[in-house]
């Protein structure tokens, strides 16, 4: 079972998060359905990227599926999935982002394999950064009291400009 944290992060906070990612010696992978690309920008592509500790690059596994498409095998790879917050100003909607990690998996002999503690601590470090910079915030949406991890700018968009969180 994986671990994840969902959040709403504005572009300025995301830029600082990107700096934090590189300070922690993480490389970034982008899966474009034809290949797996190493990129150096946290905003590359549409929404989803993968963080890889530089000391675990040899523990990234791919597989071919139909039509020779190459995909990342996230179950046994040492990757942290990063889905960016995405907003649509015309519709006034903001879709949540997340980071997600799979701490263990079953190998081909159906034996449970746990990923290194140092790898999981890196995920926890990213989670702490998000909680600090996008604190748990109460808000009202459709007459319901809600709470979510969000940056101050996102809270402002919700409260003052009527954006909806999805």
Provide the percentage of residues in the chain whose pLDDT is more than 90: 88
Global pTM value: 0.94
Q: Residue 154: pLDDT above 80?
A: yes
Output the pLDDT for position 166. 97
Q: Residue 130: pLDDT above 80?
A: yes
Distance, in Å, from the CA atom of 30 to the CA atom of 145, rounded to the nearest integer, reads 36
Distance, in Å, from the CA atom of 75 to the CA atom of 104, rounded to the nearest integer, reads 8
Burial of 95 (0-12, 13-18, 19+ CB in 10 A): middle
Average pLDDT over residues 16-36: 93
Q: Are 7 and 153 in contact, with CB atoms under 8 Å apart?
A: no
Distance, in Å, from the CA atom of 80 to the CA atom of 28, rounded to the nearest integer, reads 10
């Amino acid at each position: 079972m994986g671990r994840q944290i969902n959040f709403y992060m504005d572009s300025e906070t995301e830029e600082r998060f990107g700096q934090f990612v590189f300070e922690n010696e993480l490389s970034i992978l982008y899966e474009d359905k034809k290949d797996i690309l190493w990129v150096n920008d946290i905003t590359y592509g549409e929404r989803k990227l993968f963080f890889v500790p530089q000391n675990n690059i040899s523990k990234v596994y791919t597989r071919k599926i139909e039509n020779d498409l190459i995909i990342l095998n996230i179950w046994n790879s040492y990757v942290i999935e990063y889905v960016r917050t995405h907003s649509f100003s015309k519709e006034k909607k903001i879709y949540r982002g997340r980071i997600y990690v799979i701490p263990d998996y079953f190998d081909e002999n159906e034996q449970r394999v746990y990923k290194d503690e140092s790898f999981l601590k890196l995920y926890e470090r990213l989670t702490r950064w998000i909680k600090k910079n996008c604190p748990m915030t109460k808000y009202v949406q459709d007459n319901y009291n809600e709470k979510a991890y969000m940056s101050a700018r996102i809270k402002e968009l919700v409260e003052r400009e009527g954006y909806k969180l999805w």
